[in-house]
A and B are shown apart, each in its own frame.
Chain A
Amino acid sequence: MNAMKIKKSPAEKVFTVFNYILLTFIMLICLYPVWYVLVASLSDSSLLMQHSGGLLKPLGFSISAYKKVFDNPMILKGYGNTLFILVIGVMLDIFMTSLGAYFLSRKQVMFKNVIMMIIVFTMFFSGGMIPFYLNLKDFKLTNTLWGLIIPFMINTTNLIILRTSFESIPDSLIEAAQIDGAGHFKILMQIVLPLSKAILAVMILYYGVGIWNAWFWASAIIRTRELYPLQVVLREILMQNDVSAMTAGVGAADQDAVATTIKYATIIVATLPILCVYPFLQKHFTQGAMVGAVKG
């Protein structure tokens, strides 16, 4: 904070240089495959087929892959469905998870450990896909977007992470509020959550990306194609001509492969939005959220 310049030792200078170089290298190897996908999606499909190895720029520029992608009636619908699930889902998820994490982070609660064990137990044992599905059916959640939101409101791993974070909030703050007569719900809303911006940003990211990428349950629960979230549509395009495809018969196995360019374009179209979200959330968990709070 104070602009007190402390001299860096030569070792630290070397370290800093080394750090920058290392991180730049890591950035490059992380960037390259994404770049490859982008560049390949803008290439001509015949040229791409003949090519093996790396790519730095498009082979014969062409946006026909993107045109085809947006012609697919399901892409836009998929976007809409996913957005719906995303907005509502993240709100509900954070709300429910906060309730649970708050409870589990309090001290001197007799049944806390029991409840914790009940919750963690579910990480290991479950009924499997079919009973889970039948259960949803009993609650009329199958073939609806709500069926992709409500049964997944709490992710136990996230719950535990959030709890750990809530535990580090100083008791003095909580007790002060209790002395002032605040009930637990008020404490949660007005003290704990505001102090947890960093971890909440992470939770939004985790739940958000989880929802964005989810396809398995959607493909199991949803029967109406119009309700497919984006990833299900994306997977269908990527899995065409896939090894595990079980279709046979002359035509079915012997199909013209969907141009790889279209597959890559689909990936870009489906991933780009979520990539843009991160920078906005990023600033929330790189600031010191706790500074000054202790003194308060």
Chain B
Amino acid sequence: MKKKFVSLLTATAVIATSLAGCGQGGGSQETTKAPETQAPAQSTESGGAAQSAEFAYPMAAGAKLTYWAPLNDNVSANYSNLGDTFFGKALMAQTGVDIEFMHPPLNQQVEQFSLILADGNLPDLMEYDWLPLYPGGPEKAITDGVILPLNDIIEQYCPNLSKYLAENPDIDRMIQTDEGTYYCFPFIRGDGKLCNTIGPMMRKDWLDELGLEVPTTIDEWHTVLTAFKEQKGATAPFTYEQDREQLRDTDPFAYAYNTTRTFYLGSDGKVHYGAAEPEFKDYLATMAQWYKEGLIDADLATLSVDQVSAKMTSGTAGASVGWAGSRLGAWTKAAQATNPDYELVATPYPTTQKGAYPEFGQIENQYSGRASVAITTSCKDVERAARMLDYAYGEDGHFLYNFGVEGESYNMVDGYPAYTDLILDNPDGLPISQAMAAYIRGCYNGPFVQDLRYLEQYYTLQNQKDTPDIWGASNGKAHVVPPITPTTEESKEYSTIMNEVRTYRDEMILKFIFGTESIDNFDTYIANMEKMGLSRALEIQNAALARYNAR
């Protein structure tokens, strides 16, 4: 009874929104719902559409699909299989496809992936980080006979995805291989604001107490950190996790000097390696100076999340870099238990000159290659698999993946999908992330387009809600390297070189900052990276970029 009501409601909602002309091109050709069997002659757009006019979800009974995917830990806390969650059940009901989910243990997906491949018994669908993790790249996954190329399949069976890609050509480009082959149903962050989630933050209550403004330049940061140290007794005014590569590479102070620790796209349209550029020297000099003055945590290299959390919540530290949810939010919640005045505010990415607009900032590509689903060569009913996956890119599926089941996990309030208390204030005491994970995938990843409105509600504090704007205010997008891949032959060479370069870079950066190595030796440092083959690596990257641009 409930299911019928829900699908009726959903159908109504979808019709309503599409009729309201939500700005999608070619409005009234929705073919994903409306079980009317109007004359197929109505939709004569392309060969494929003629078929899809008769198609509707849920599909008729058919083969069961096997689907291998990592199980997110917010799900595994309460369920041992995705198929047991409200999300899983709703997905199967709405698409009409019976799915058997298979999950590797957390953090063991790489090993299990290889075993499955060696086994030969591939499941029908595999959700994996195809782009970064398959050795040799996705094109090789196709030539190795692991997964199917999807060009024809998408054209024939996936009107939703096709439509989305047609409307978003830059994303379309990201998800292909250099040869123009589609290989997966991608995880896309549907709005730019979903892509910059890391940034600097600091104690607002301290700033207010000291009468200071939120700093925007390197010099202002220096003033603020010194004040934290001298007047608030912070022994580690600025601290952040070094053991997590993603955070380590997001150094707001490097950004201030128009460089980064890793690869970036220069204004000349070429790939550069920030740690080898002259501006990096200025960054290092400033950091070394701050370290000497005790403004940076003395234990910088050894910090992990537990220690940073302890320092930020207890007042040993005043500023850090991290995510808005699991750092800013979590720290605020924990600290306010004992100190109600505790407040963390996001600061903009600093620059070297007052009033300058930050050139660099943290941002990721909308498609990172992670958590995307490929159809394997073992799949017998390809159409069924493709249509099941395509559901996510249509209106109904989009809402399911991002907001869950209407009436249960969200309600449409003035056209805005608002999560219910089941999610935001779970009666069983589940934290929001776990309550969400039972109903949606929007809070982690998967083969769908992530909706910004999930994030707007996941961030419950105003300070969190402000982060996308504050941290997004930079030209970072122009400098992020698109998802390029070296060729299969080059990839081994590339990773050997880069492992050496990265090892050396990480060691030397700390040596410069700690003062064990004099900044005057910066040129030797660059020369050594050259010796390791940095220019060859850049050559490979730029060739890959050229191929990408030509897609």
User: In the assembly, what is the distance between CA of A221 and CA of B334, in Å?
Assistant: 40
B232 to nearest A CB, angstroms? 16
> Is B107 a contact partner of A245 (Cβ separation < 8 A)?
yes
> Is B325 a contact partner of A255 (Cβ separation < 8 A)?
yes
A33 to nearest B CB, angstroms? 15
User: In the assembly, what is the distance between CA of A130 and CA of B117, in Å?
Assistant: 10
A213 to nearest B CB, angstroms? 15
Q: Given contacts A46-B337, A74-B80, A232-B105, are A250 and B455 in contact (CB under 8 A)?
A: yes
Question: What does the 1/0 interface line of B80-112 toward A look like (CB < 8 Å)?
Answer: 110000000000000000000011111111111
Question: What does the 1/0 interface line of A241-266 toward B look like (CB < 8 Å)?
Answer: 11111111111111111101000000
- Chain A interface, DSSP helix/strand/loop, else mixed: helix
User: In the assembly, what is the distance between CA of A255 and CA of B195, in Å?
Assistant: 15
> Is B118 a contact partner of A247 (Cβ separation < 8 A)?
no
> Is A255 a contact partner of B313 (Cβ separation < 8 A)?
no
Q: Which residues of B contact A52 (CB under 8 A)?
A: 307, 310-311, 314, 316
Q: Check: A98 CB closer than 8 A to any chain B CB.
A: no
Q: Check: A49 CB closer than 8 A to any chain B CB.
A: yes
User: In the assembly, what is the distance between CA of A242 and CA of B243, in Å?
Assistant: 10
**Stretch of B137-145, B167-175, B442-450 at the chain-chain interface:** B442-450
Q: Which residues of A contact B443 (CB under 8 A)?
A: 251
Q: Given contacts A251-B443, A253-B246, are A260 and B326 in contact (CB under 8 A)?
A: no
Q: Check: B305 CB closer than 8 A to any chain A CB.
A: yes
Q: Check: A106 CB closer than 8 A to any chain B CB.
A: no
Residue from B74, B112, B115, B314 having most chain A Cβ neighbours under 10 A: B115
Q: Which residues of B contact A245 (CB under 8 A)?
A: 106-107
A58 to nearest B CB, angstroms? 15
From A52, which residue of chain B is reached at the shortest CB distance?
Answer: B310
Contact pick for A47, options B81, B102, B306, B337, CB 8 Å: B337
A34-62 interface (Cβ within 8 A of B): 44-47, 49-52
B435-479 interface (Cβ within 8 A of A): 442-445, 450, 454-455, 458
Contact pick for B313, options A49, A220, A240, A250, CB 8 Å: A49
Question: What does the 1/0 interface line of A221-236 toward B look like (CB < 8 Å)?
Answer: 0010110100010011
B297 to nearest A CB, angstroms? 12
Question: What does the 1/0 interface line of A48-82 toward B look like (CB < 8 Å)?
Answer: 01111000000000000000100111100000000
> Is A260 a contact partner of B306 (Cβ separation < 8 A)?
yes
B234 to nearest A CB, angstroms? 14
Residue from A50, A134, A225, A247 having most chain B Cβ neighbours under 10 A: A50
Q: Size class of B's contact patch?
A: 35 or more
> Is A46 a contact partner of B334 (Cβ separation < 8 A)?
yes
Q: Check: A137 CB closer than 8 A to any chain B CB.
A: yes
> Is A256 a contact partner of B326 (Cβ separation < 8 A)?
yes
> Is B76 a contact partner of A49 (Cβ separation < 8 A)?
no
> Is B77 a contact partner of A247 (Cβ separation < 8 A)?
no
Q: Check: B344 CB closer than 8 A to any chain A CB.
A: no
> Is A247 a contact partner of B115 (Cβ separation < 8 A)?
no
From A64, which residue of chain B is reached at the shortest CB distance?
Answer: B429
> Is B433 a contact partner of A255 (Cβ separation < 8 A)?
yes
Q: Check: B351 CB closer than 8 A to any chain A CB.
A: no
> Is B335 a contact partner of A50 (Cβ separation < 8 A)?
yes
Q: Check: B119 CB closer than 8 A to any chain A CB.
A: yes
> Is B314 a contact partner of A50 (Cβ separation < 8 A)?
yes
Number of A-B contacts (CB under 8 A): 167
> Is B305 a contact partner of A47 (Cβ separation < 8 A)?
no
User: In the assembly, what is the distance between CA of A249 and CA of B74, in Å?
Assistant: 14
User: In the assembly, what is the distance between CA of A49 and CA of B338, in Å?
Assistant: 11
Q: Given contacts A73-B79, A219-B104, A255-B326, are A248 and B370 in contact (CB under 8 A)?
A: yes
Q: Check: B309 CB closer than 8 A to any chain A CB.
A: yes
Q: Which residues of B contact A74 (CB under 8 A)?
A: 76, 80
Q: Check: B354 CB closer than 8 A to any chain A CB.
A: no
From A249, which residue of chain B is reached at the shortest CB distance?
Answer: B445
Q: Which residues of B contact A219 (CB under 8 A)?
A: 104-105, 108, 111-112
User: In the assembly, what is the distance between CA of A52 and CA of B316, in Å?
Assistant: 10
> Is A249 a contact partner of B189 (Cβ separation < 8 A)?
yes
Q: Check: B329 CB closer than 8 A to any chain A CB.
A: yes
Q: Which residues of A contact B79 (CB under 8 A)?
A: 73
> Is A254 a contact partner of B323 (Cβ separation < 8 A)?
yes
Contact pick for B431, options A137, A220, A256, A260, CB 8 Å: A256
Contact pick for A46, options B73, B106, B316, B333, CB 8 Å: B333
> Is B72 a contact partner of A239 (Cβ separation < 8 A)?
no
> Is A251 a contact partner of B445 (Cβ separation < 8 A)?
yes
Q: Given contacts A52-B310, A236-B106, are A249 and B431 in contact (CB under 8 A)?
A: no
> Is B445 a contact partner of A248 (Cβ separation < 8 A)?
yes
Q: Which residues of A contact B314 (CB under 8 A)?
A: 50-52
From A225, which residue of chain B is reached at the shortest CB distance?
Answer: B80
B343 to nearest A CB, angstroms? 15
Q: Check: A4 CB closer than 8 A to any chain B CB.
A: no
Q: Which residues of B contact A146 (CB under 8 A)?
A: none
User: In the assembly, what is the distance between CA of A250 and CA of B72, in Å?
Assistant: 13
Q: Check: A26 CB closer than 8 A to any chain B CB.
A: no
Q: Check: B330 CB closer than 8 A to any chain A CB.
A: yes
From B73, which residue of chain A is reached at the shortest CB distance?
Answer: A240
From B103, which residue of chain A is reached at the shortest CB distance?
Answer: A225
B367 to nearest A CB, angstroms? 10
User: In the assembly, what is the distance between CA of A113 and CA of B133, in Å?
Assistant: 46
A49 to nearest B CB, angstroms? 5
Q: Which residues of A contact B80 (CB under 8 A)?
A: 73-74, 225-226
Residue from B111, B189, B450 having most chain A Cβ neighbours under 10 A: B111
Q: Given contacts A248-B370, A248-B445, are A228 and B105 in contact (CB under 8 A)?
A: yes
Q: Which residues of B contact A256 (CB under 8 A)?
A: 325-326, 329-330, 431-433
User: In the assembly, what is the distance between CA of A46 and CA of B331, in Å?
Assistant: 9
> Is A249 a contact partner of B368 (Cβ separation < 8 A)?
yes
> Is A239 a contact partner of B444 (Cβ separation < 8 A)?
no
From B194, which residue of chain A is reached at the shortest CB distance?
Answer: A250
Q: Check: A133 CB closer than 8 A to any chain B CB.
A: yes
Q: Which residues of A contact B325 (CB under 8 A)?
A: 251, 254-256
> Is B76 a contact partner of A236 (Cβ separation < 8 A)?
yes
> Is A47 a contact partner of B73 (Cβ separation < 8 A)?
no
Question: What does the 1/0 interface line of B334-375 toward A look like (CB < 8 Å)?
Answer: 110110000000000000000000000000100010110000
> Is B243 a contact partner of A251 (Cβ separation < 8 A)?
no
B67 to nearest A CB, angstroms? 13
Q: Check: A129 CB closer than 8 A to any chain B CB.
A: yes
A219 to nearest B CB, angstroms? 4
> Is B442 a contact partner of A258 (Cβ separation < 8 A)?
no
Q: Given contacts A256-B431, A256-B433, are A49 and B73 in contact (CB under 8 A)?
A: no
User: In the assembly, what is the distance between CA of A94 and CA of B153, in Å?
Assistant: 56
From B195, which residue of chain A is reached at the shortest CB distance?
Answer: A250
A288 to nearest B CB, angstroms? 46
> Is A247 a contact partner of B307 (Cβ separation < 8 A)?
no
Residues of A within 8 A of B (CB): 44-47, 49-52, 68, 71-74, 129-130, 133-134, 137, 219-220, 223, 225-226, 228, 232, 235-236, 239-258, 260
Q: Which 7 A-B pairs have the closest CB atoms?
A: A249-B445, A254-B323, A251-B443, A251-B444, A52-B310, A46-B337, A46-B334
30 contacts between A and B (CB under 8 A): A49-B313, A49-B330, A49-B334, A50-B313, A50-B338, A52-B316, A73-B79, A74-B80, A134-B118, A219-B112, A223-B112, A236-B76, A236-B105, A240-B106, A242-B107, A244-B107, A246-B110, A247-B371, A250-B195, A251-B325, A251-B443, A253-B197, A253-B326, A254-B197, A254-B327, A255-B433, A256-B325, A256-B326, A256-B329, A260-B306
Task: Please give 13 more A-B residue pairs, beta carbons under 8 A apart, in addition to A242-B107, A248-B370, A254-B323.
Answer: A47-B337, A73-B78, A74-B76, A220-B108, A220-B111, A236-B73, A243-B304, A248-B246, A250-B194, A251-B433, A251-B454, A252-B445, A254-B327
